[in-house]
Amino acid sequence: MTGGPVTPQTERRNLIIGTAGHIDHGKTVLVKALTGRDTDRLIEEKERGISIDLGFAPMRLSDGSVVGIVDVPGHENFIRNMMAGATGVDLALLVVAADDGVMPQTREHLAILDLLGVQKAVVAITKIDSVDPDLVPLVEDEIEDLLKGTPLEGSPVVPVSAVTGEGIEELRAVIEREALGVRLKDEALNVRLPIDRVFTLRGIGTVATGTLWSGRVTLGQRLESLPRGEEVRVRSLQVHDTERQEAFAGERVAVNLAGIAKEKILRGDVLAEPGCLRPAYMVDARVRILRDWTKPVKRGARIRFHHGTREVLGRIYPLEGQQIGPGESVPAQIRLEEVVVVAPNDRFVVRSYSPVTTIGGGTIVDAHPSKHRLHDPEAVRQFEELESRDDLKRVAVYLGRAGVPVTRDALVLESGLPPAVVRAGLDGLLETGGAVTLGDKSAHLVMSAGHYEEFKSMTVAELETFHALKPLAEGMARETLKKKILASWDNRSADIFMESLDREGAIESEGKVVRMPGKKSAVTSEQEKTLDDIVGRVAANPVAPPTVSELSAELGQSRQAVAELLAVAEKDRRLVRVSPELYFSPEAISEIEARLRQSIGPDGISVSDFKNAVGTSRKFALPLLEYFDRMRITARVGDVRKLR
Ligand SMILES: Nc1nc2c(ncn2[C@@H]2O[C@H](COP(=O)(O)OP(=O)(O)OP(=O)(O)O)[C@@H](O)[C@H]2O)c(=O)[nH]1
Ligand SMILES: [Mg+2]
């Protein structure tokens, strides 16, 4: 396929067949009969005559396509290995030995396949050469009972013997037929490759293998090794020992990785498309406890959480209630002792801590929840929205949780949802008014409409308060407003938000200030009259004008109102502010300055001489001199002022 055109997914059937069944029932021998490959590679496996770890073999179908078979161990001690193999299985090959019938791990493997969501199976009754033919229908009945009520009810059953070869060709045909009905993994989604094996090859380096859950892996591609987050590059790529340029969802993939040492990547890790997933210590999930588990699972029970090829210890906390009974399926939070890399809709299996038994499993609903207390109605509400599988509702939850403007990329990472789902959900929300775009499209910032309106009304309220307190001010400093209302926002988002409000006419921006629209010149004609009055009173007593308090008393207006008007007069250069309490007319200031210059000698001038020269009192002389100091006309030297 190197260099050639890529076959469309509709014409390719990339799928994984996984064996399942009790120890010694003939799984490995059957895989060899179907593929010619002995998957028991380990010396210990040979010596003990049992499978310990996963085995892999390609099976060629009659149309020339190749599917991957994962052979799992049946021994109860190796269930965790079995699960690492079962995680990507599309079609189960359930093996039951004719001479032994349904046994404990037949049931446990079946339960695990069910919990992992495997929808199709073919059952092989093996070793028929070793029993009386009359016995086979009895085993068939037993299997029928076993599958009753499960999604695998009615699966085809084929009696075979790997010794005589009887039934093998029929089994192959049935597998091919069933393979056509398998719902294939999606190669349009982001890359997820849970690692089930890592080894080094001399001269080649680190090789990791796994079943590609979703997406396409291409030569040279950069991937993220999670949970540690190292960036790696695909240096070479193989599917069933054949070099490839590209591998597809549903294929068994071996990648030679540049940029990472063997010790830094282990079974349980995930190779993922960068920026799509981040590890979590907590997940919310719908948890189902198996019907035949004997006792309720108590709130806080310690469990083993199996997801992908990873096993992590943790505890289960139902969102409501003190326990989960057998057969129940409830919303729960799972708090883990190590991180996992999960996404919504992923399946997982739960085993009891001790003794180790499969007790249930479930589906991830929220890959990044916060810690919930018991009976938290908001947690339950969000759980329901996220479980609805409605893209709009799901994205709305994460948008609402963010509270501040976010990018689409951030939403992908926060939710763990595929980028395409986030895009669809967000577009829907933007269309129906549940979300707003901030700034122009290039800013890539979105926000829930609810939060936008909330922050908008807070901003408007703040500005209105400001105008009420300072009716004649030009507006509020933008930075002050941002600090007050948008304290938790990053600066860029805050600026873009202010621009948005300006653009929609909710506020008005000018230079460094913002104000309510139309609040620019807020002096009423009434105030204008008072202003003239004030200016007149100040001018009438050029060297001893009334103070702010005196003006307030004389005019019967609040100090605040008078101060506001004085600020306007100062801005319009109708008055000069000498101190917070004193304003002079510009003409008076020029006159006083002229007298100062006339009276000042080479040794400077004292406060008392200045007072006499101007013809005022000390109450005015001191602030005036300080004003001239500030204006850099005079400088204070000891007890006197000198010209600068
Ligand atoms: N007579 C007979 N023996 C078989 C047949 N298939 C397997 N066996 C024997 O059963 C034993 C177990 O076979 P395996 O294929 O290793 O069993 P398994 O299910 O892979 O076992 P684990 O991987 O350890 O769970 C071996 O000794 C096989 O030779 C068969 O069709 N007929
Ligand atoms: Mg085996």
Condensed to tens digits (0 to 9), the pLDDT of residues 561-594 reads 899 889 888 888 899 999 999 999 999 999 999 9
- Closest residue by CA, ligand 1 atom 11: 24
pLDDT at 209 over 50: yes
Q: Could you tell me the pLDDT band of residue 545, with boundaries at 50, 70 and 90?
A: very high
> In this model, does residue 312 exceed pLDDT 90?
yes
Give the least confident one: 116-125, 407-416, 424-433, 524-533: 524-533
Cα–Cα distances (Å) from 609 to 178, 526, 590, 597, in that order, read: 112, 42, 18, 12
pLDDT at 65 over 90: no
Give how far Cα 429 sits from Cα of 252, 515, 533, Å.
38, 31, 57
pLDDT band at 3 (very low <50, low <70, confident <90, very high): very low
Helix axes 491-503, 478-485, angle to 10 degrees: 110
Ligand 1 site, CB within 6 A: 21, 23-29, 49-51, 73-75, 126-127, 129-130, 161-163
Residue owning the nearest CA to atom 14 of ligand 1:
26
Answer whether residue 263 shows pLDDT above 90.
no
| Confidence band, pLDDT 50/70/90 cuts, at residue 11 | low
| Averaged pLDDT for residues 166-186 | 94
Pair 318, 350: CB distance under 8 Å: no
For the cut 50, the answer to whether the pLDDT of residue 1 exceeds it is no
Q: Given pLDDT bands bounded at 50, 70 and 90, which one contains residue 467? A: confident
Percentages helix, strand, coil for the chain, rounded to the nearest 5? 35, 30, 35
Reported as a pLDDT band with limits 50, 70 and 90, residue 355 is confident
Region 99-105: mean pLDDT is 96
Average pLDDT over residues 608-620: 95
Nearest ligand for residue 25 CA? 1
The minimum-distance atom of ligand 1 relative to the CA of 162 is 31
Helical ranges in 518-637 per DSSP H:
525-540, 548-555, 559-571, 586-599, 607-614, 618-630
Give residue 97 CA to ligand 1 midpoint distance, Å: 8
Choose among 620, 533, 630: nearest CA to 583.
Answer: 620
Residue 7, pLDDT score: 58
Ligand (nearest to CA of 48): 1
Q: Please give the mean pLDDT across all residues of the chain.
A: 93
pLDDT more than 90, % of the chain = 83
Specify the pLDDT at position 475: 86
Average pLDDT over residues 260-282: 93
User: What was the pLDDT predicted at 10?
Assistant: 56
CB 33 within 8 A of CB 165: yes
| pLDDT on residue 2 | 40
